[in-house]
Amino acid sequence: MDVTVIAETSGDRLHPVTAQLVGAVVSIGGTPTVLCAGGMGAAEAASISGVAKVISVVGDCFGTFDGGAWAEALNAVTGGDVIIAAASSTGREIAATMAAMRGIPIIQDATNLAPGISVTRPIYSGKAIETSTVTTPCAITLRANAFDAAGGGGSAEVSTVNQSADVAVAVREAIAKASERLDVAEANIIISGGRGMGDPANFSYLNEIADIIGAAVGASRAAVDTWEEIPHDMQVGQTGKTVTPSLYIAVGISGAIQHLAGMRTSKYIVAINKDPDAPIFGVADYGIVATWEDALPALKVELGKL
């Protein structure tokens, strides 16, 4: 089964998820050909074990992102029974457009593949899991970190092809990300501090971590009531705000009932507290018994590596 893998890049480097795409293809008996849009990451892709060949596609259209143009150019360069891409925002768009161009079905955000092709993926924002079979030819995008990456040591052939397409989306202006704090009520990831932080100034450590992972910074009611520097709108668990983050990191929060409202509905809870008997460990998925002074710098380093 010939599979076209759309390489995922981060800046002009290959994104680690590409090795996971290759690993997934090999695991279902596919032969992966990696397409590198704009040639980015081609040499790195060639060193992934299991890759049959790498096609570096260069053309004017790859200067800025235009999903339609990129899909058109990539589509012209290879056939293949199956198209595989990462379920990132660009990966989804390119794969969906290529699939529409070929008149083939696409399934997005798969977390498991089996020969058939059987695809497993979360639905209803993860409240259920769907397994279905799809006929080939088809396109599938894969969720990051759900598949084992293929190893290194490969030495696939890299060929360069000139292929472009008309660009319909013209970039007029780049606007750097504003450093506004995400709102606690809407964030996907929240890192919250409690009275255990000792001093409101120490929330700066939480801010730093929040910046790395794009989280909102919250506070327990105790922190808000004790320190006027911690404003009321940071309070998690406020009546009426439905807070459903995927990840809630509670730092220096005891976990007594007054503080649990709202945060209870988080998908995953990580607790950092120096008191091994703190009630928060009863609801945490991952509890770390440590002082925040020790744990937060380590957390900053580890998250920075991702």
Partner 1 sequence: MGIAVLLKQVPDTTAKISVSGGRVDESAVNKWSMSPYDEYALESALQLKESGGGDLVAITCGPSRAAKMLTDAAAVGVDSLLHILVEDISGLDSTQVQSILAAAVAHSGSDIVFCGKQAADTNAGSTGPGVAHLMDASCVTMVSEVVSDGSSLTAMRASSDGNERVAVSAPCVFAFDKGIIELRRPNVRGIMMAKKKVAETLSPADLGVDISVSSVSIIGHNPPPQKPPGQKFEGADSVAAVVGKLRDEANVI
Partner 2 sequence: MAYEALDFYDIDSLLTDEERMVRDMVRDWVDEKVIPNIEKACRDGVFPDEWRVDLGEMGILGAPLDGYGCPGLSYIAYGLICQELERGDSGVRSFASVQGSLAMYPIWDFGSEEQKNYYLPKMTTGEWIGCFGLTEPDYGSNPGDMITRAEDKGDHYLLNGAKMWITNGTTADLAVVWAKLDGVIRGFIVEKGDPGFTAPEMTGKHSLKASVTSELVFQDCIIPKDRMLPHVKGLKGPFSCLNNARYGISWGAVGAAQSCFSSAREYALSRIQFDHPIASFQLVQNKLAWMLREITKAQLLAYHLGKKKDDGTWIAEQISLAKMNNVDIALEIARMARDIHGANGILDEYPVMRHMANLESVKTYEGTHDIHNLILGRHITGIQAFTREP
Of residues 248-287, those binding partner 2 (CB under 8 A)? 257-258, 260-261, 264-265
Between 46 and 80, whose beta carbon lies closer to partner 1?
80
- d(Cα 240, Cα 28) in Å, to the nearest integer? 47
From residue 276, give the alpha-carbon distance in Å to each of 54, 250, 287, 288.
52, 14, 9, 9
The option from partner 1, partner 2, none interacting with 287 (CB < 5 to 8 A, set by class) reads partner 1
Q: Tell me the closest approach of the beta carbon of residue 297 to partner 1, in angstroms.
A: 8
Give residues with Cβ within 8 angstroms of 151, minimum separation 6.
Answer: 19, 48, 49
Amino acid identity of 212? I
Partner whose footprint covers residue 78, from partner 2, partner 1, none (CB < 5 to 8 Å by kind): none
The Cα angle at residue 298 between residues 295 and 301, in degrees rounded to 5: 150
Rounded to whole angstroms, how far apart are CA atoms 38 and 7? 10
| Distance (Å, whole) CA 250 – CA 176 | 30
How many other CB atoms are there within 10 angstroms of residue 155's CB atom? Answer: 10
Taking CB under 8 A as the binding criterion, the range among 50-58, 59-67, 200-208, 226-234 that sits at the site for partner 1 is 59-67
- Encoded tokens for 109: 């955000």
| 141-180: contacts with partner 1 (CB under 8 A) | 143, 145-146, 168-178
Range in contact with partner 2 (rule: CB under 8 A) among 32-40, 81-89, 114-122, 231-239: 231-239
Q: Counting contacts by CB under 8 A, is residue 183 touching partner 1?
A: no
Give min distance, CB of 86 to partner 1, in A: 12
Count of residues engaged in binding partner 1, rule: CB under 8 A: 83
145 touching partner 2, by CB under 8 A = no
Give the CA distances from residue 192 to residues 36, 173, 262, in Å, rounded to whole numbers and listed in that order.
40, 35, 12
| Least Å from the CB of residue 283 to partner 1 | 7
Single out the residue of 31, 118, 164, 207 in contact with partner 1 (rule: CB under 8 A): 118
Q: Does 302 bind partner 1 (CB under 8 A)?
A: yes
> Whole-angstrom Cα distance, residue 97 to residue 135?
18
Q: Out of partner 2, partner 1, none, which partner does residue 257 contact, by CB within 5 to 8 A per kind?
A: partner 2
The Cα–Cα gap between 22 and 8 comes to 11
Alpha-carbon distance of 244 to 240, in angstroms, equals 12
Residues 68-97 contacting partner 2, CB under 8 A: none
Least distance in angstroms from the C-beta of 229 to partner 1 = 26
Interface with partner 2 (CB under 8 A), residue total 14
Q: Which helix (H) or strand (E) holds 250?
A: strand 247-251
- Residue numbers of the site for partner 2 (CB under 8 A)? 221, 232, 237-242, 257-258, 260-261, 264-265
